[in-house]
Amino acid sequence: MKKTIYIIASFTFIFIFSILGLAGCGPRVTPTPELPTSTPTPEITPTPTAVPERIVLFDPSAQAGETIPGLINEFATANSIAFETWTSLADLAGVKVMVVYGALDNLADVAASAPQTQFLAVAQNAAPAANVSTLSANPVHLAFLAGYLAAMTSTEWRAAALMGDPNNLGLPDAFINGGKYLCGRCTPKYGPMLEYPVVYYPDNGNDAPAWTAMAQALWNDTNANSVFVDTAADFPEILELFSDELVFTNNPASPNLARYAAALGPDTAGGIKAALPELLAGNGGQVFTSPVALTVINNPDAVSPAKQARFNEAALKLADGQIDPLSIP
């Protein structure tokens, strides 16, 4: 009996051990890895910095003084725009208006390359274009005041002009009327006995020899001692001929400016102030007209403050229409 029990127990133990062994030999299951639950952060593309809007004063020779930059800066500030002064060209991105105070030889090309910018040519001759405007005085008013100034600064009324009139505006008549507005019948006491002012201009040619010949004839015929020299006649040879006389010009950008007593031109500050709102609004291609201004360069005794005041008074009357430069009483 005991032997039987022992056999049964042994058989049971072997059976259980075998079952456990078979279970241990079964295939192992590889656990499935957990997927990440976080979302990758996309890369941020940097946004280019916006170019600020600007108004630029291009003044390579620093001739604008303090008034011009001050009034442009005041206008820019009032319109929440930056203001800069340049002495050389730079990137025109963001430039809404550029006031070209000095000479810019390739202005037309620069303007064509920057259609978003309005240019105002102040001290150089330029042709108006889609985005190029000019500032100048009325040429008839300027001729009238040139005659007025020449007569006022002359001795014995011997005032004269070397002046052309290519567009037939009546500039010689306006010059003569300017002198007569001041002196009435302007006749000297001694010969040559002429009625001044007088105007000379070449019939043929517009080069230095033609104008020099006219200047020599003017001197021989009139003994003029106060002479207005038009831009077309602005040559060193002519200025040398009148080196002992008072000479005036209407070319503020003349390379011979140091030889002149004074220059007549537009009231630049007033003209720029009037033009800026139009240009900022994108209304370019205009010819802005301003009153005539007088800038004394040399000989302040001959062009005294009292004479300057009389000149400015006549300029204001012209601008207000109180004087007809082509028909005086």
Cα-to-chain-centroid distance, residue 318: 26
Pick the CATH number of 54-127 from 3.40.50, 3.30.9, 3.30.1330, 3.10.450: 3.40.50
**Residue 15, both tokens:** 């059976």
Share of residues in the chain with pLDDT > 90 (%): 67
In tens, the pLDDT along 178-214 reads: 999 999 989 998 888 899 999 999 988 889 999 999 9
pTM listed for this prediction = 0.70
pLDDT of residue 235: 95
Do 54-127 and 139-265+292-319 share a fold? Answer: yes
Query: What is the C-alpha to C-alpha distance for residues 283 and 139, in angstroms, rounded to an integer?
Result: 23
Strand partners, 141: none
Q: Where are the domains of the chain?
A: 54-127, 139-265+292-319
Peptide bond into 60 cis (omega under 30): no
pLDDT band, very low/low/confident/very high, at 317 (cuts 50, 70, 90) = very high
* CATH fold of 139-265+292-319: Rossmann fold (3.40.50)
In tens, the pLDDT along 101-156 reads: 988 889 999 999 999 999 999 877 788 999 999 998 899 999 999 999 999 999 99
Choose among 224, 216, 220, 219: nearest CA to 188: 224
Q: Report whether 127 contacts 108 (CB < 8 A).
A: yes
Element (H, E) at 272: helix 268-280
Share of residues in the chain with pLDDT > 70 (%): 85
Peptide bond into 40 cis (omega under 30): no
For the four alpha carbons of 35, 36, 39 and 43, in that order, the dihedral sign comes to: negative
Strand partners, 199: 161
